[in-house]
Amino acid sequence: MAEIVAAGEAMERALALLEGGDVVAIPTETVYGLAGDATSGIGVARIFEAKGRPRFNPLIAHVADLAMAERIALFDPLSRKLAAAFWPGPLTLVLPQRPGNGIHPLVTAGLDTIALRMPKGFGGELIARLGHPLAAPSANSSGRISATTAGAVAADLGDRIRLVVDGGATPVGLESTIVKAEGETVRLLRPGGIAAAEIEAVAGKPLLRGVAAGIEAPGMLA
Which tens digit of pLDDT belongs to each residue from 168-185? 999 999 999 999 999 889
Phi first, then psi: give them for residue 73, nearest 5 degrees: -135, 165
Alpha carbon dihedral 222, 182, 81, 86, in 10-degree steps, equals: 0
Q: How many CB atoms lie within 10 A of CB 122?
A: 20
Position 91 pLDDT exceeds 60: yes
Categorise residue 204: left if φ over 0, alpha if ψ from -120 to 50, beta otherwise: left
Which tens digit of pLDDT belongs to each residue from 99-126? 999 999 999 998 999 999 999 999 999 9
Q: Residue 156's pLDDT is what? A: 97
**Which of the pair, 12 or 222, is modelled with greater confidence?**
12
**Which of the pair, 216 or 134, is modelled with greater confidence?**
134
Domains contained in the chain, CATH given: 3-176 (3.90.870.10)
H/E segment holding residue 180: strand 177-182
Q: Residue 23's pLDDT is what? A: 98
Average pLDDT over residues 1-13: 97
* Burial class of residue 40 (count of CB atoms within 10 Å of its CB; 0-12, 13-18, 19+): buried
- Per the CB < 8 A criterion, the answer to whether 140 and 153 are in contact is yes
β-pairing, 185-190 vs 60-62, is unpaired
Which tens digit of pLDDT belongs to each residue from 131-181? 999 999 999 998 899 999 999 999 999 999 999 999 999 999 999 999 999
Q: Residue 222's pLDDT is what? A: 45
- Per the CB < 8 A criterion, the answer to whether 5 and 166 are in contact is yes
SS3 of 62-128: ECCCHHHHHHHECCCHHHHHHHHHHCCCCEEEEEEECCCCCCCHHHHCCCCEEEEECCCHHHHHHHH
* Side-chain half-sphere exposure of 31, counting CA atoms within 13 A: 21
Which tens digit of pLDDT belongs to each residue from 23-58? 999 999 999 999 999 999 999 999 999 999 887 789
pTM of this structure: 0.93
Q: How far apart, in Å, are the Cα atoms of 39 and each of 28, 35, 108, 147?
A: 20, 12, 11, 25
